[in-house]
Amino acid sequence: MRILIACFASALLSSLFTVWLTSDQTPSAVLAQSESEPDALPGSVFGGKSPFVDTNPRREQRPITENSAFRMTTEEAVNVAVYEKVNKSVVNITTQMQAGGGLFFRGLSAEGAGSGMVIDQSGHILTNFHVIEDANRIEVNLFDGSSYEATLIGADPVNDIAIIKISADADVLHPVTLGDSSQLKVGMKVFTIGNPFGLERTMTTGIISSLNRTLQVRENRTIKSIIQIDAAVNPGNSGGPLLDTQGNLIGVNTAIASKNGQNAGVGFAIPANLVARVVPQLLQFGRVIRPEIGIQHVYETDAGLLIETMTPDGPAEAAGLRGPEVVRQRRGPFVVERIDRSVADLIIGVDGQKVETVDDFLGYIETKKPGDKVVLEILRGSETLKVTIELTGAAASPRGTLP
């Protein structure tokens, strides 16, 4: 009997000692990491009819509902199948950027980390712009441990989207499959795969908590139709995929709402349909070609948007819109100039929709393309007018200005 008691005590102590060792082996350095139409390309997701589809015929395509010999529940089988389908598409992105200048900081560099995903077998990687912003060096680590230096192909800071490229063999590039974010419903199950705190290809699950949120990522600019999720998203997850139960890409994880920088159950993702509109332009032009209306700056007022400046000979000016006038008055030997804004047009609507903010106006204009026509409803004095303007093309505008 004494022998049995001694064996039991020895086994218990051994077990407790093992747990303590395992929990103590988590490197603090890891937890301290922070996030920081061209010609058809070979395997390009935008050069064919099926965006984000893996074109390698040798790779086995397993059904998403496949069960295993371990008698998993249906829910577990879906979780496993989603991970097995997509985890090789997810990459770990590390960046280096030059630290601030000055005598004592010269030559120092800062590091950042984030996630991304393969979108074609030509080596294009989709991620957030803020993950690679200001980086001097971008390194991409694939599922097999191989590492490649990446180059920036194009970026859309307004929508926090960027495309980088690596030179890797097609056999190690597993593109994600593009889904349709317009079909999402609150309550649907979702998955994220990313590299939180540098822990590569970590999957979390949750549901869609809300749809059509807005998220400000740049001064005076917000992304619309943002997906809100409760799946755990932490520093390092930015740029990783948000997936449905079929393993299709429905969003790109971009931000969290948190008081301490850690997951609080409120995460945000850029919808896949927005990504599908932006990425082809980034691949072709390196930037987004936004429609140009020829209004450079407006003031937000309680009555509408007051035109401040317009592009000379631009679409708005050509259509007859009016801005402020410069009034010159002679006072003795001097000529004094003043700006008379009372004569400027006040924009109150576009195509029958009321606009109250710059973001309302920009958001609607950016759903159009160069060559489209829009009808502005304006107040000119006490008179309400409708003016038709044909949009032209322009590159992404500087911050704080209109396209």
Question: pLDDT tens across 335-385, in order?
Answer: 777 778 888 999 999 999 898 888 778 778 877 888 899 999 999 988 999
Active site residue 360: no
Check for a shared fold between 31-172 and 290-395. Answer: no
- What rounded mean pLDDT belongs to the chain? 76
Q: Which of 230, 238, 244, 345 is catalytic?
A: 238
pLDDT cut 90: percent of the chain above it: 31
Name the residue ranges covered by the structural domains of the chain.
31-172, 177-287, 290-395
- Domain 290-395: give its CATH superfamily: PDZ domain (2.30.42.10)
pLDDT digits (tens, 9 = 90+) for 34-66: 333 344 444 444 444 445 555 555 555 555 555
Q: Which of 130, 174, 225, 230 is catalytic?
A: 130
Domain spanning 31-172, CATH architecture: Beta Barrel (2.40)
Q: Is-catalytic flag, 238?
A: yes
pLDDT at 30: 29
The whole-angstrom separation of Cα 55 and Cα 148 is 22
Q: At a CB cut-off of 8 Å and minimum separation 6, what does 166 contact?
A: 123, 125, 140, 148, 149, 150
Q: Annotated catalytic residue: which of 54, 120, 160, 230? A: 160
Tens-place pLDDT, residues 271-299: 998 899 889 989 988 988 888 888 888 88
Fold classified for 177-287: Thrombin, subunit H (2.40.10)
Query: Could you please report the per-residue DSSP string of 352-403?
Result: TEE--SHHHHHHHHTTS-TT-EEEEEEEETTEEEEEEEE-EEEEPPPTTS--
Distance from the first to the final alpha carbon of the chain:
85
Alpha carbon 305 to its chain centroid, in Å, reads 28
Low-confidence ranges of the chain (pLDDT < 70): 1-70, 99-110, 217-221, 256-265, 394-403
The per-residue pLDDT for 196 is: 76
124 as an active site residue: the answer is no
Q: What is the pLDDT of residue 241?
A: 92
**pLDDT score of 75:** 86
